[in-house]
């Protein structure tokens, strides 16, 4: 793992955008694994700036998002698909046909997850996977569990995740209780992984991810087994390392 201390959120976001942009420039038809959450917003803004300045072309880029709430359509403003359109895709020249997010509207969980797994596998898995990290060490929506997950699956969100994510909803009852998420094995199949984390409330999770035991009770700890991981943080997120 290469841990990069960028000190501030702004510098962390610039570094993450630089890494993502370099991947796109080196391989214009690359497969990017993308993440939601507030952490990557700055990196997405950095990518939009690079696109607007003419230094980045998304026309051949293919994207696969990590997760989606079960039961939300892509037009629902609380869905992760909507978030991605709003934060990135609507602002760059990506082909909508190249954008993939698990289908939250398909409430047949087995079919929705199997379809997504097939698509990611057919794309040859991700060249670069961007990840945030939950306060409990979750990646995507792979919550602390008894074993590491493999492919895309339906999860029951933990109380801590529902509470953490409720800030983006009007009230906590509105947060969906289930989600579809890429599994840990699918994430680990990416050739390069970029984790972004900022703020004091991520410090314990970042420490456990980088230096704790490799256990499914901290799903992000599996990343210690990946040969090509960048962990890009601000001072606060690294304050316990």
Footprint of ligand GLP on this chain (CB under 6 A)? 35-39, 66-67, 132-134, 140-141, 161, 165
Please identify every residue annotated as catalytic: 67, 136, 138, 143
* 121-133: burial string, b at 16+ Cβ within 10 Å, e else: eebebbbbbbbbb
Nearer to ligand GLP, 60 or 144 (CB): 144
Cβ closer to ligand GLP: 104 or 132?
132
Residue 145 CB, shortest distance to ligand GLP, in Å, is 15
Cβ proximity to ligand GLP: between 65 and 106 the closer is: 65
Q: Using CA atoms in the order 221, 222, 224, 226, what is the torsion angle rounded to 10 degrees?
A: -150
Distance, CA of 18 to chain centre: 17
CB of 151 to ligand GLP, least distance (A): 17
* Distances in whole angstroms, Cα of residue 202 to Cα of each of 38, 136, 159: 13, 8, 17
Find the shortest distance in angstroms from Cβ 93 to ligand GLP.
25
Q: Are strands 178-181 and 67-69 parallel, antiparallel or unpaired?
A: antiparallel
Q: How far is the CB of 186 from ligand GLP (least distance, A)?
A: 14
Question: Which run of H or of E encompasses 162?
Answer: helix 159-165
- Which tokens is 167 given? 């800030």
39 vs 106 by CB, closer to ligand GLP: 39
């Amino acid at each position: 793992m290469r841990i990069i201390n960028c000190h501030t959120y702004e510098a962390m976001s610039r570094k993450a955008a630089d890494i993502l942009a370099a991947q796109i420039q080196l391989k214009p038809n690359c497969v990017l694994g993308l993440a939601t959450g507030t952490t990557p917003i700055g990196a997405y803004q950095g990518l939009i700036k690079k696109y607007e300045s003419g230094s980045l072309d998304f026309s051949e880029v293919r994207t696969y998002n990590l997760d989606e709430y079960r039961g939300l359509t892509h037009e629902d403003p609380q869905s992760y698909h909507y978030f991605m359109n709003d934060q990135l895709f609507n602002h760059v020249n990506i082909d909508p046909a190249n954008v993939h997010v698990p289908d939250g509207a398909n409430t047949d969980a087995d079919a929705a997850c199997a379809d997504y797994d097939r698509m990611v596998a057919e794309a040859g898995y991700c060249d670069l996977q961007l990840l945030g990290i939950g306060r409990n060490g979750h990646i995507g929506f792979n919550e602390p569990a008894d074993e590491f997950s493999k492919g895309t699956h339906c999860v029951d969100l933990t109380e801590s995740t529902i509470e953490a994510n409720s800030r983006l909803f009007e009230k906590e009852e509105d947060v969906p209780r289930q989600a579809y998420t890429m599994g840990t094995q699918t994430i680990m199949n990416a050739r390069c992984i970029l984790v972004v984390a900022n703020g004091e409330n991520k410090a314990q999770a970042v420490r456990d991810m980088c230096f704790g035991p490799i256990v499914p009770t901290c799903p992000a700890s599996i990343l210690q087994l990946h040969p090509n991981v960048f962990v890009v943080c601000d001072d606060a997120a690294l304050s316990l390392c």
